Homo-oligomer: A and B are copies of this chain.
Amino acid sequence: MISKLAEIVGEEWVISGDEAKLYSYPAFIPLKIEPPVVVLPGSEEEVISLVNFLNENNIKYIVRGSGTSLSGATTPTQGEVVISLTRLNRIYSLDNFEITVGPGLANFLINKTLGNSNLFYAPDPSSYVVSSIGGNISHDSGGMHTPKYGTTFDSIIRLKVLLSNGHVEEIGSSNFFDPTSIFVGAEGTLGVILRATLRLFPKPEVSKTILASFNSIDDAGKAVVSVYKAGVTPAAMEFLDKNSIIAIENTQYKANYPMAEAILLIELDGYSVNVEEEEVRVVSAIRNNNGEVFIPKDEEEKNRWWWGRKGAFPSFAYYSPAYLTLDANVPRSTLPTMLRFTYEISKKYGLPVANSFHAGDGTLHPLIGFDPKNADETIKAIKAAEEITKLAIKVGGVPSGEHGIGIEKIKFMKLYYSEDDLTLMRRLKATFDPKRLLNPCKLIPPAKNEICNTVNRIHTYLLEGDI
């Protein structure tokens, strides 16, 4: 098999043994499984040849980008060949309000390319410096700008996808039987994204940052709802709890935030008259909920505040060597309830927790610290995460807002979806991937007749543990 793969992509782009260990797990820490071989095709034609070869020989495979999946969507649990698309990183065209790129391009490079033009690409997951566009699409990634500009789905104009039978399809540009909503967020279980045409937005003429601090989580939660009730859709509205603030202030991300139970970091954008009017409304929504308002005194302070927010995840190292990142999306009105529950869970399991998240769209991000060298503690952290996810579903939420299901949350699909729903998903998968070769045993809980191997007790717990 390896010689055939080398024939397609060239010997230097087929990796196995020690080097392949680099691809043994994405950002989802609890499970490390080495792939038998990693292939890095350099062109769409090579990807098509690879898929045809794998399909003809019934070989399972996983397609990945930069490996930033937090849900283990690209962990090779079933001995799959791993295809990395990082070399497919071309910018094909840039026309007016559209850009067409390869799936391996890092998100960040789009805005870098746009430079001083008056356009920008909106979806900005925290991983944007490295995460690839193909991965963003396959997870329907959100980000700080989701409340106003939507998730990755909302920025997709067209996709060129490769199906397992070797056919190349253009999807998204049509009105009829358009499978885009099932492809986006499918975590690579349906086909390969070869090329994406993305929507660009005009840069806002003005943007304004407001920081609000609160002595209670409830007040902060109410302020979030009040902002929307005042008719304002902020470009971003980020929530940091006290644990996050402490971590940030004690690491290189130090932002000089006011010490408080919670802060909201808000960005407004648009025409200047519009932003002025929104500022009046937002300030009043904050003060009506007992918040204190801070305006950055200069560009430097503003950038420091946002840089601090970007450091919320990495600065969690202050508490713990590794963490799980949840991402349930819940109704905005339930945010305080959810947060209080994360602190209870922290106490119950004796594991550190911090919350920093996109309050604007209700996507929570509790971080739960654990020691990945300790399998017992790892499973304990997974159990803590499960309790939080269960409550999120109970209050009307969805198990994952933007990080995907992967292997991490696969059991929760059974809590959230009915067996009929899952059957329909399996039928849709079979339409695109009749041989079940593409990223098997992920996202959709396996049907009764579907065999999924497990490699250790953490894996077994993720796939089959009680819920």
Which residues of A come within 8 Å of B, CB atoms? Answer: 140, 163, 167-170, 173-182, 185-186, 202, 205, 231, 270-271, 273-274, 276-277, 398, 400-401, 405, 413, 416-417, 420-421, 423-425, 427-431, 443-444
A174 B417 Cβ-Cβ under 8 A: yes
Query: Distance in Å from the Cβ of A439 to the closest Cβ of chain B?
Result: 13
B182 A177 Cβ-Cβ under 8 A: yes
CA gap between A170 and B416 in the complex, in Å: 11
Query: In the assembled complex, which residues on chain B have CB atoms less than 8 Å from the CB atom of A270?
Result: 274
Query: In the assembled complex, which residues on chain B have CB atoms less than 8 Å from the CB atom of A179?
Result: 181-182, 424, 428
CA gap between A428 and B428 in the complex, in Å: 8
Write the chain B residue with the least CB distance to A281: B271
A169-B425 contact in complex given A176-B443, A271-B277, C-beta closer than 8 Å: no
Give me 18 A-to-B residue pairs in the complex whose CB atoms sit less than 8 angstroms apart, sorted by A's number.
A140-B175, A167-B424, A174-B421, A175-B185, A176-B444, A177-B186, A177-B428, A177-B444, A178-B182, A178-B185, A181-B182, A182-B182, A202-B231, A271-B274, A273-B276, A273-B277, A428-B431, A430-B431
A420 B167 Cβ-Cβ under 8 A: yes
Query: In the assembled complex, which residues on chain B have CB atoms less than 8 Å from the CB atom of A401?
Result: 175
Which 7 pairs between the two chains have the least Cβ-Cβ distance? A181-B181, A177-B425, A273-B273, A167-B420, A274-B274, A178-B181, A177-B182
Query: In the assembled complex, which residues on chain B have CB atoms less than 8 Å from the CB atom of A178?
Result: 181-182, 185
Write the chain B residue with the least CB distance to A430: B431
Write the chain B residue with the least CB distance to A231: B202
Query: In the assembled complex, which residues on chain B have CB atoms less than 8 Å from the CB atom of A443?
Result: 176-177
Copies of this chain, tallied across the complex: 2
Query: In the assembled complex, which residues on chain B have CB atoms less than 8 Å from the CB atom of A417?
Result: 174
B424 A175 Cβ-Cβ under 8 A: no
B431 A431 Cβ-Cβ under 8 A: yes
A173-B274 contact in complex given A178-B181, A205-B231, C-beta closer than 8 Å: no
CA gap between A167 and B427 in the complex, in Å: 14
Residue in B170, B176, B205, B413 whose CB lies within 8 Å of A405: B176
CA gap between A102 and B185 in the complex, in Å: 29
B170 A421 Cβ-Cβ under 8 A: yes
CA gap between A179 and B428 in the complex, in Å: 9
Query: Distance in Å from the Cβ of A143 to the closest Cβ of chain B?
Result: 15
CA gap between A429 and B176 in the complex, in Å: 11
B277 A398 Cβ-Cβ under 8 A: no
B398 A173 Cβ-Cβ under 8 A: yes
Query: Distance in Å from the Cβ of A81 to the closest Cβ of chain B?
Result: 24
CA gap between A178 and B416 in the complex, in Å: 13
13 additional A-B pairs beyond A176-B405, A177-B444, beta carbons within 8 Å, are A169-B424, A173-B398, A174-B398, A174-B416, A176-B185, A176-B186, A176-B400, A202-B231, A273-B273, A274-B274, A274-B277, A427-B431, A430-B431
CA gap between A186 and B202 in the complex, in Å: 33
Query: Distance in Å from the Cβ of A141 to the closest Cβ of chain B?
Result: 11
Query: In the assembled complex, which residues on chain B have CB atoms less than 8 Å from the CB atom of A176?
Result: 185-186, 400, 405, 413, 425, 443-444
Which one of A140, A175, A179, A424 has the greatest number of beta carbons of chain B within 10 Å?
A175
CA gap between A294 and B174 in the complex, in Å: 37
Query: In the assembled complex, which residues on chain B have CB atoms less than 8 Å from the CB atom of A181?
Result: 178-182
Query: In the assembled complex, which residues on chain B have CB atoms less than 8 Å from the CB atom of A416?
Result: 174
Write the chain B residue with the least CB distance to A270: B274
Query: In the assembled complex, which residues on chain B have CB atoms less than 8 Å from the CB atom of A430?
Result: 431
Query: Distance in Å from the Cβ of A400 to the closest Cβ of chain B?
Result: 6
B169 A421 Cβ-Cβ under 8 A: yes
Query: Distance in Å from the Cβ of A180 to the closest Cβ of chain B?
Result: 5
Query: In the assembled complex, which residues on chain B have CB atoms less than 8 Å from the CB atom of A186?
Result: 176-177
CA gap between A163 and B421 in the complex, in Å: 11
Query: Distance in Å from the Cβ of A301 to the closest Cβ of chain B?
Result: 27
Query: Distance in Å from the Cβ of A281 to the closest Cβ of chain B?
Result: 9
Query: In the assembled complex, which residues on chain B have CB atoms less than 8 Å from the CB atom of A400?
Result: 175-176
Query: Distance in Å from the Cβ of A136 to the closest Cβ of chain B?
Result: 14
Query: Distance in Å from the Cβ of A234 to the closest Cβ of chain B?
Result: 15
Query: In the assembled complex, which residues on chain B have CB atoms less than 8 Å from the CB atom of A413?
Result: 176
CA gap between A398 and B186 in the complex, in Å: 26
CA gap between A270 and B417 in the complex, in Å: 39
CA gap between A413 and B174 in the complex, in Å: 10
